Amino acid sequence: MADTTHRSGLPMTDDHEPTAEEIEAFQREDFFAPLSASADEYPRAWNRSAAFIYRRIVRPLAPAPPEYVTLPLLGAGIGERQWDVPLAIAKWNMLWEAAQFRRRFFSEEEIPGAMREIADRGDVNVVFVPRTTTRYYEYLPLFHLLSHSTLERYGLPLLRGGQWPFLIESTSVDRYLPADFENRVSHAWASAVWRHLIPGSPQRAFSASDPIRLLAHNLDFWLPPVTAVIQEILRALPVVDATVAEEAVPLDDGTVLEGAVTASPRMGSDLWRGEAEAAEVMRLTVDQADADGRLRGILDAVRSHRVEDDFSEHWSYAREDFERKLYHKRSKIKVRFVELTDTIPVQGPETEVEANLVFSDFLALLDERERQVVILLHSGVTRIGEVASILGYKNHSPISKRLARIRKKAAAYFEVP
């Protein structure tokens, strides 16, 4: 009989403690997609059903739109275990159907300290994602709509797939992503979505300060509409158990929860798989961004108030149209200015407009960022906070200062006392 013992006397086996190199190789294989991934399989995103944990969930009749909140996964609070926060986030996010009512599934003891500040606000619809340097999890829905060729063009890696909402992190994503990941995704997304914004005119035909080009690069602007599209896809899926009837939600005091029912969770599924499905979701995202006419209003306002600095040296149909209008004979424009305390001066009701060129001469006097503010306000974005968000500011202070300068220039230009 062959000797099957080690010299130490212990039995010989093929099992061994994995080395650091083997663990690294396994994590990379789990994280990255093969370069041979076909257009029928890549890109891909999916959802996991809450039915893995719950037989019934609370389903609001009018779900509030979700907001993303980042949390650090490392470090536990006093009396908390290392996995308390990740497991609570997974449970919380899996209840996406409960929307603003998901807090009601948790006792006080089940909410880790890192989540409590948000959870204690009551019925809020929040999706928790890990706080990372690259912001991968925040922009995951947008990143995983990009094709293989687009990712390669902008030096981005092919990742195996994205799960919405976030449930668990198997490895630290920042280890494998470029330090300027957010910037690269911004440029890649803009290149992909551009044809939906200005068909027929390439992005390179416009200057870096062009308002529509800035909007295309603003990932925060596109995150709410893509999230809304994802939820529309999921809400169209069948429930896991059709025998579970929808019922009122009983509360501890004997009353019922208004505006909600209990129901079986919906099935999990691919959100999209392959370039064709991803392209359709991108189109739906653009449509959703214009659900209230807001996007169309911004685009129309920018097109109507173009200045020469909006264009690069490259030819485009948009520039040809601009020059045709610019050199066309204009009628005189009579403008009455109304001074408001918290905003810029606006046109009076008797303003005469020809060829959508109102204020074109005045806009030419403004610098690039001031012009962006005026165009957004003219398009119907009336709240300073919204303008700041679209232009990428974290608060409204820079916009308020620009409005003050714009008012002074406007008063001087239109000779308003």
pLDDT, tens digit, 9 for 90 and up, residues 120-130: 888 999 999 99
Are 185 and 49 in a shared domain?
A: yes
Are 299 and 226 in a shared domain?
A: no
Check residue 201 and give its pLDDT.
Answer: 74
> Does 7 map to a domain?
no
Last residue of a domain, one of 267, 289, 311: 289
Find the range with the poorest average confidence among 39-53, 76-90, 299-313, 376-390.
299-313
Helix (H, G, I), strand (E, B) or coil at 306: coil
Are 190 and 337 in a shared domain?
A: no
Are 281 and 352 in a shared domain?
A: no
Are 276 and 360 in a shared domain?
A: no
Find the range with the poorest average confidence among 233-237, 345-349, 385-389.
345-349
Q: How confident is the model at residue 114 (pLDDT cuts 50, 70, 90)?
A: confident
> Does 8 map to a domain?
no
Which residue blocks in 355-396 are alpha helix, DSSP H?
360-363, 368-378, 384-390
Distance CA 279, CA 407 (A): 43
Q: What is the DSSP letter of 40?
A: T
Are 257 and 312 in a shared domain?
A: no
> Does 15 map to a domain?
no
Find the range with the poorest average confidence among 38-42, 58-62, 349-353, 408-412.
349-353
> Does 306 map to a domain?
yes
Distance CA 238, CA 260 (A): 18
Check residue 343 and give its pLDDT.
Answer: 39
Comparing CA positions, the residue from 153, 282, 260 lying closest to residue 216 is: 282
The pLDDT > 90 percentage for the chain reads 45
Q: How confident is the model at residue 40 (pLDDT cuts 50, 70, 90)?
A: very high
Comparing CA positions, the residue from 139, 251, 145 lying closest to residue 196 is: 145
Mean pLDDT, rounded, of the chain: 80
> Does 115 map to a domain?
yes
The pLDDT > 70 percentage for the chain reads 75
Last residue of a domain, one of 268, 289, 310: 289
Average pLDDT for 394-414: 74
Distance CA 56, CA 246 (A): 9
Say if strands 162-163 and 44-47 run parallel, antiparallel, or are unpaired. parallel
**Which two structure tokens, joined as six digits, stand for 392?**
């990428």
Are 269 and 147 in a shared domain?
A: yes
Check residue 29 and give its pLDDT.
Answer: 81
Are 203 and 349 in a shared domain?
A: no
> Does 109 map to a domain?
yes
Number of structural domains (the chain) is: 2
* Identity at 327, one-letter amino acid code: Y
Q: Give 126's strand partners.
A: 67
In this predicted structure, the answer to whether residue 413 has a pLDDT above a threshold of 80 is no
Find the range with the poorest average confidence among 60-74, 75-89, 155-169, 248-262.
75-89
Check residue 4 and give its pLDDT.
Answer: 38
pLDDT digits (tens, 9 = 90+) for 265-285: 999 999 999 999 999 999 999
> Does 166 map to a domain?
yes
Distance CA 242, CA 265 (A): 10
Check residue 327 and give its pLDDT.
Answer: 52
Distance CA 287, CA 309 (A): 29
Average pLDDT for 140-168: 96
Distance CA 91, CA 88 (A): 5
Check residue 35 and give its pLDDT.
Answer: 84
Last residue of a domain, one of 242, 261, 289: 289
**Which two structure tokens, joined as six digits, stand for 361?**
């001469």
Distance CA 96, CA 81 (A): 25
Residue whose structure tokens are 């976030």: 166
Are 104 and 252 in a shared domain?
A: yes
Say if residues 209 and 309 touch (Cβ distance below 8 Å): yes
Average pLDDT for 248-273: 95
Check residue 414 and give its pLDDT.
Answer: 56
In this predicted structure, the answer to whether residue 136 has a pLDDT above a threshold of 90 is yes
The pair phi, psi for residue 270, each rounded to 5°, is -65, 135
Comparing CA positions, the residue from 168, 201, 15 lying closest to residue 89 is: 168
Collect all residues with Cβ–Cβ distance below 8 Å to 171 and sequence separation of at least 6: 27, 30, 31
ω into 65 cis (within 30 of 0)? no
**How many CB atoms are located within 10 Å of the residue 246 CB?**
12
Are 73 and 182 in a shared domain?
A: yes
The pair phi, psi for residue 321, each rounded to 5°, is -65, -40
Give me the sign of the Cα torsion angle 301, 304, 309, 313. positive
> Does 89 map to a domain?
yes
Range of the structural domain that residue 235 is part of: 24-289
In this predicted structure, the answer to whether residue 151 has a pLDDT above a threshold of 70 is yes
Q: What is the DSSP letter of 160?
A: S
Distance CA 318, CA 311 (A): 9
Distance CA 329, CA 132 (A): 55
In this predicted structure, the answer to whether residue 297 has a pLDDT above a threshold of 80 is no
Collect all residues with Cβ–Cβ distance below 8 Å to 411 and sequence separation of at least 6: 337, 339, 345
Are 381 and 252 in a shared domain?
A: no
The pair phi, psi for residue 407, each rounded to 5°, is -60, -40
Which residue blocks in 259-316 are alpha helix, DSSP H?
275-289, 294-304
Check residue 364 and give its pLDDT.
Answer: 62
Are 403 and 275 in a shared domain?
A: no
Check residue 44 and give its pLDDT.
Answer: 97
Helix (H, G, I), strand (E, B) or coil at 127: strand
Check residue 21 and give its pLDDT.
Answer: 79
Check residue 16 and give its pLDDT.
Answer: 73
pLDDT digits (tens, 9 = 90+) for 209-234: 778 888 899 999 999 999 999 999 99
In this predicted structure, the answer to whether residue 20 has a pLDDT above a threshold of 80 is no
